[in-house]
Amino acid sequence: MELKSKCPEGPIETRWEKHKFDLKLVNPANKRKYSIIVVGSGLAGGSASATLAELGYNVKCFCFQDSPRRAHSIAAQGGINAAKNYQNDGDSIYRLFYDTVKGGDFRARESNVYRLAQISVNIIDQCVAQGVPFAREYGGALTNRSFGGAQVSRTFYARGQTGQQLLIGAYQALERQIGLGKVQMFPRSEMLDLIVIDGKARGIVSRSLVTGKVETHLADAVVLGTGGYGNVFYLSTNAKGSNCTAIWRAYKRGAAMANPCFTQIHPTCIPVSGDYQSKLTLMSESLRNDGRIWVPLKKGDKRTPSQIPDAERDYYLERRYPSFGNLVPRDVASRAAKAVCDEGRGVGTGLGVYLDFGDAIKRLGKQGVKERYGNLFDMYERITGENPYEVPMRIYPAIHYTMGGLWVDYNLMTTIPGLYAIGEANFSDHGANRLGASALMQGLADGYFVLPYTIGDYLANTKLDKVDESHAAVRDAETAVAQQTKRFLSIKGSRTVASFHRELGKLVWDECGMARNEGGLKRAIAKIPELREQFWKNVSVLGTGEELNQSLENAGRVADFLEFGELMCVDALDRNESCGGHFREEFQTPDGEAKRNDDQYSYAAAWEYAGPGKAPILNKEPLTFEYVHPSQRSYK
């Protein structure tokens, strides 16, 4: 497999502009002749569908929720970054670029990241024009707050509901195009296979989650904006429905999967409370603007937080990282929390640290804190029964986001011509660690501003023969979907789908979670195939395939996680270094920071499917850094 990143050359500031000029255009009359399938209606898929239709293409958009408005993006709380420098605090496109390359621990492409920083400013204008109610200063200007990994305030927000408000903007644009007949919407429909004809992506096979009907949809190009795979860990902050099926099936049809071991643990989540919990809840990173993180100085200190005087508290982030304090990037904050809990200084169940607003309330008043974070505080109280205005929140790291995903070139095309991946589904811009508030930025950059240009180049340059449903590749994909459904229903085993998922999740969390090592990864790689075998022998899927059947839906998703999880561990084992969220215990500095090995691992790992039962093939895209020279990340 040849990986051509297609990154333009020349001064980095002009690369995207020049590239856009070099891309072939499709004239407006011809756009009407093309059809594009977009799977996903989150910020990436929703914005792409609306924009492509606005340009004149015929779009079919799919999502598994009952409305495009319910995509997981709605959960995003804290904000979206943009280098507007409204605060006049020293921000610039270059600084956002720099922070993102450094924050990703030098495992992202410079050209992509620079483009992202450039486009960030357009996103805010676009969303404001749509009416997104970003928070404003008293005088009316948009206000900002700070997120991890940056020393400037560049995060735009709409209270703690930024994702929801941005999604409503994209959704309105999408609905407008649905009304105009340019987008055909397929809610409650799950893509279960990709149709590849003559080496090009030409359609999908989907299943109606209401009637079970399996349908084929053909098009000139296919876009996957299907989100991340964090739920491979079972417990995560992702929506319960988020899954890897679309990208995994694309992988099995020839799309390379990049850096699957790059997963992000978010430091501020509500700690796990029991074995039968099915979901974890994020407390937004924005809380680290004003909340102070601490644990007792003494091990096993059982006093209530108010009984522990300041001198007996360890504000360990402020102590270890005086420059960034509580706003160090997520990977650094998560590992530091794990370290103090491993020392026996955790609070609550022992796997928790305090996030304390006592000082902020003294400074801003309760009302001031409420205005900034009111809905997050209410949510915390509803879940834990504790009032965070009175006692510190208890938080612990949890799986939150996945930087890995389908490998894409600078045009966001995967290794299958005509198949694009956008948003969290691709691996593109965050390297080994995403900075807070940069996922929304990337999803919207891809959907509103990058893909609509680059896809035209493919369509204009490619001879696309007419295809119909009688094609052998279509029948092959339809048969594969029908056979899988039949197989699930015929097993009639005794274990629920969820029980397998929980077991897989625990295994990958233990061996490929916040810290990894060779022995543990080898154990996981040996155990996952055994679990998969048991699943295919003993899973219980009740009901039929011709009705609403969530057990059947979930069986398909878990079957894919059971394969994906193994690749994630294989990738983690192969990468003999620590970088960003990938922390291999064998590779750390004397003070416990991630130790990269740039000589050997400065590449994106793009795994290629080699067929059933065969080891995946590793392809490498070398990364070069002309502007931000790799150095040991320091937030001290």
Ligand X SMILES: Cc1cc2nc3c(=O)[nH]c(=O)nc-3n(C[C@H](O)[C@H](O)[C@H](O)COP(=O)(O)OP(=O)(O)OC[C@H]3O[C@@H](n4cnc5c(N)ncnc54)[C@H](O)[C@@H]3O)c2cc1C
Known catalytic residues are: 330
User: 287 or 425: whose CB is closer to ligand X?
Assistant: 425
Quick one: which of 437, 467, 559, 606 contacts ligand X (CB under 6 A)? 437
Of 632, 577, 573, the closest CA to residue 603 belongs to 577
Quick one: which of 49, 120, 146, 226 contacts ligand X (CB under 6 A)? 226
Quick one: which of 59, 76, 185, 568 contacts ligand X (CB under 6 A)? 76
| Cβ–Cβ < 8 Å for 226, 246 | yes
Give yes or no for residue 63 binding ligand X (CB under 6 A): yes
Output b/e per residue, 90-110; b: 16+ Cβ within 10 A: ebebbbbbbbbbbbbbbbbbb
Give yes or no for residue 83 binding ligand X (CB under 6 A): no
CA quadruple 470, 471, 472, 478: dihedral positive or negative?
A: negative
Distance of closest approach, residue 576 Cβ to ligand X, in angstroms: 28
Which whole-number Å values give the CA distances from 129 to 73, 170, 488, 532, in the listed order? 20, 11, 48, 49
Stretch that binds ligand X, among 211-219, 236-244, 470-478, 608-616 (CB under 6 A): 236-244
Joined tokens for residue 223: 């876009």
Q: Give the span between the Cα atoms of 571 and 262, in whole angstroms.
A: 9
User: 263 or 438: whose CB is closer to ligand X?
Assistant: 438
Give yes or no for residue 73 binding ligand X (CB under 6 A): yes
Quick one: which of 3, 7, 78, 431 contacts ligand X (CB under 6 A)? 78
Distance of closest approach, residue 190 Cβ to ligand X, in angstroms: 4
Give yes or no for residue 423 binding ligand X (CB under 6 A): yes
Q: Give the span between the Cα atoms of 429 and 497, in whole angstroms.
A: 34
User: In terms of C-beta density within 10 A (0-12 exposed, 13-18 middle, 19 or more buried), how is residue 245 classed?
Assistant: buried
3-class DSSP string for 14-62 = HHHHHHHHHCCCCCHHHHCCCEEEEECCCHHHHHHHHHHHHHCCEEEEE
Stretch that binds ligand X, among 88-96, 439-447, 490-498, 517-525 (CB under 6 A): 439-447
Quick one: which of 52, 108, 123, 191 contacts ligand X (CB under 6 A)? 191
Distance of closest approach, residue 350 Cβ to ligand X, in angstroms: 24
Stretch that binds ligand X, among 175-183, 222-230, 371-379, 593-601 (CB under 6 A): 222-230
Quick one: which of 15, 36, 37, 42 contacts ligand X (CB under 6 A)? 42
Distance of closest approach, residue 170 Cβ to ligand X, in angstroms: 9
User: 554 or 619: whose CB is closer to ligand X?
Assistant: 554
List the interface residues with ligand X, window 242-281 (CB under 6 A).
Answer: 242-243, 245-246
List the interface residues with ligand X, window 275-334 (CB under 6 A).
Answer: 282
User: 83 or 340: whose CB is closer to ligand X?
Assistant: 83
Angle, helices 15-22 vs 110-130, to 10°: value is 80
**Strands of 344-438, DSSP E:** 353-356, 393-402, 405-406, 419-421
Output b/e per residue, 475-510; b: 16+ Cβ within 10 A: eebbeebeebbeebbebeeeebbeebbbbbbebbbe
Give yes or no for residue 126 binding ligand X (CB under 6 A): no
Q: Which residues contribute to the site for ligand X (CB under 6 A)?
A: 39-45, 62-65, 71-73, 75-80, 162-163, 190-191, 225-228, 237-238, 242-243, 245-246, 282, 400-401, 423-425, 437-440, 443
